[in-house]
Amino acid sequence: AQSVTQLGSHVSVSEGALVLLRCNYSSSVPPYLFWYVQYPNQGLQLLLKYTTGATLVKGINGFEAEFKKSETSFHLTKPSAHMSDAAEYFCAVSAAEAAGNKLTFGGGTRVLVKP
Amino acid sequence: DTGVSQNPRHKITKRGQNVTFRCDPISEHNRLYWYRQTLGQGPEFLTYFQNEAQLEKSRLLSDRFSAERPKGSFSTLEIQRTEQGDSAMYLCASSLRSVNTEAFFGQGTRLTVV
CA distance B85 to B82: 8
pLDDT of residue A28: 80
* Proportion of chain A above pLDDT 70, given as a percent: 100
Q: Do B103 and A99 touch (CB under 8 A)?
A: no
Sign of the Cα pseudo-torsion (A85, A91, A96, A101, in order)? negative
Q: Do B50 and A41 touch (CB under 8 A)?
A: no
Task: Pick A41 or A89 by higher pLDDT.
Answer: A89
Can you give chain B as a three-state secondary structure string? CCCCEEECCEEEECCCCCEEEEEECCCCCCEEEEEEECCCCCCEEEEEEECCEEEEECCCCCCCEEEECHHHCCEEEEECCCCHHHCEEEEEEEECCCCCCCCEECCCEEEEEC
Over residues B46-105, the pLDDT tens digits come to: 999 999 999 999 998 899 999 999 988 999 999 999 999 999 999 999 998 776 678 999
Q: Do A43 and B55 touch (CB under 8 A)?
A: no
Q: Which residues contact A65 (CB under 8 A, 6 or more apart)?
A: A23, A33, A35, A48, A50, A56, A57, A59, A74, A75, A76, A77
Q: Which of B30, B109, B25, B36 is nearest to B75 (CA)?
A: B25
Decide the pairing of beta strands A103-105 and B5-7.
Answer: unpaired
Residue A5 has pLDDT above 70, yes or no: yes
How many Å is the Cα radius of gyration of chain A? 14
Q: Do B105 and A43 touch (CB under 8 A)?
A: yes
pLDDT of residue B100: 67
Over residues B1-39, the pLDDT tens digits come to: 579 999 999 999 999 999 999 999 999 899 999 999 998
Residue B45 has pLDDT above 80, yes or no: yes
pLDDT of residue B13: 98
Chain B partners within 8 Å of A42 (Cβ):
107-108
Smallest Cβ distance to A43: which of B40, B42, B106? B106
Q: Which of A13, A26, A25, A34 is nearest to A115 (CA)?
A: A13
By the 8 A CB rule, do B45 and B35 touch?
yes
Q: ω into residue B8 within 30 of 0, thus cis?
A: yes
CA distance A21 to B50: 33
At residue A64, the 3 state secondary structure works out as strand
Chain A partners within 8 Å of B44 (Cβ):
105
Tell me if chain B has a CB within 8 Å of the CB of A104.
yes
pLDDT of residue A111: 97
Taking any CB pair shorter than 8 Å as contact, residues of chain B touching chain A are 4, 6, 31, 33, 35, 40-45, 48, 50, 55-56, 91, 93, 95, 97-108, 110
pLDDT of residue A66: 96
Residue of A nearest to B107 (CA): A43
Q: What is the mean pLDDT of residues A23-47?
A: 90
Over residues A12-28, the pLDDT tens digits come to: 999 999 999 999 999 88
Residue A38 has pLDDT above 70, yes or no: yes
